[in-house]
Chain A
Amino acid sequence: MAEEMKAKLKNYKTAPFDSRFPNQNQTRNCWQNYLDFHRCEKALSAKGDDVSVCQWYRRVYKSLCPISWVTDWDEQRADGTFPGKI
């Protein structure tokens, strides 16, 4: 599975179409991938597994989310005021 993920990451051009978010409003797409990356990272590092499989979510949220949003959310996570559940 890790090899497939590495191949997918190597061929990454941009965030692909996500059928969960088919319409014009992509806010939730960015938010969900941000959450998914940090949850994946937290869960796998707690188990001591290889965190690199989470990189897909990171690439997608980096493509979609404005940099200022990501900076704000990172600060909120550091402060403990992040509104999402990670």
Chain B
Amino acid sequence: MAAPAQLGLQNAASPIMEELIAFHDHALMIIFLISSLVLYIISLMLTTKLTHTSTMNAQEIEMIWTILPAMILIMIALPSLRILYMTDEFNKPYLTLKAIGHQWYWSYEYSDYEDLAFDSYIMPTYFLEPGEFRLLEVDNRTTLPMEADIRVLISSQDVLHSWAVPSLGVKTDAIPGRLNQAMVASMRPGLYYGQCSEICGSNHSFMPIVLEFIYFQDFEVWASYLYI
């Protein structure tokens, strides 16, 4: 989850998110370099008494400031496309989770063996234990096994919602009548928080997502409890 007043991206829990963070750092550094260069040149322009009133042509500098930005853009595009194709890689999912958006909660279904389904409402503030996060906790967390490729199928029962978990680099729209597929994998156990990311009515800010990644053996135990 985000720390108070956090500006940067959350720590990565999946390999794709690690790639996204690295790309973000790379692109941001390029932006900082260009911006500071431009600001420096502006400051030079504004603080000189020299003038040049008869510029006719400037072939050399025109070449430089065309070729150089083109190369910079290629240096941004290549890693970007690499990550884009990486997110679409064919992988064999171990498990399928369905996340269905409602006004104003998520419901989750695990139907690979038996129909296991439950709703996940926000934990109201007055029910929070000390140490829990306001507007982020839910009553039933979505439990998943770590180090496994999980296919998440996202849809909605009423209006548009969006299922987002920043630590895993996932944000996929929940559209009524459509099943959107996203792949999710966590490298470590833990709790990963997200919030609905498409305006959906009055309680749009109050339908969070909590994924609880646990070890495989514990996952089987948890799944068997849903029968009761």
What would 26 A/B residue contacts be, using CB atoms closer than 8 Å? A12-B112, A13-B95, A13-B112, A14-B94, A15-B93, A15-B151, A16-B92, A17-B90, A17-B92, A17-B93, A24-B180, A25-B178, A25-B179, A26-B180, A27-B177, A27-B178, A64-B96, A64-B98, A64-B179, A66-B100, A66-B109, A66-B153, A66-B155, A66-B179, A68-B100, A68-B157
B92-A26 in contact (CB<8A) = no
Question: Which residues of chain A are within 8 angstroms of B94 by Cβ–Cβ distance?
Answer: 13-14
B181 at the interface (CB under 8 A from A): yes
B96-A67 in contact (CB<8A) = no
Question: Which residues of chain A are within 8 angstroms of B100 by Cβ–Cβ distance?
Answer: 66, 68
The A/B interface has a contact count, at CB < 8 Å, of 61
In the assembled complex, the CB of B159 is this many whole angstroms from the nearest CB of chain A, namely 15
Question: Which residues of chain A are within 8 angstroms of B109 by Cβ–Cβ distance?
Answer: 66-67
Of residues B94, B100, B155, which shows the largest number of chain A Cβ atoms within 10 Å of its Cβ?
B155
B111 at the interface (CB under 8 A from A): yes
CB interface residues, A 5-53, toward B, < 8 Å: 12-17, 22, 24-27, 29-30
Residue of A nearest to B150 (CB): A14
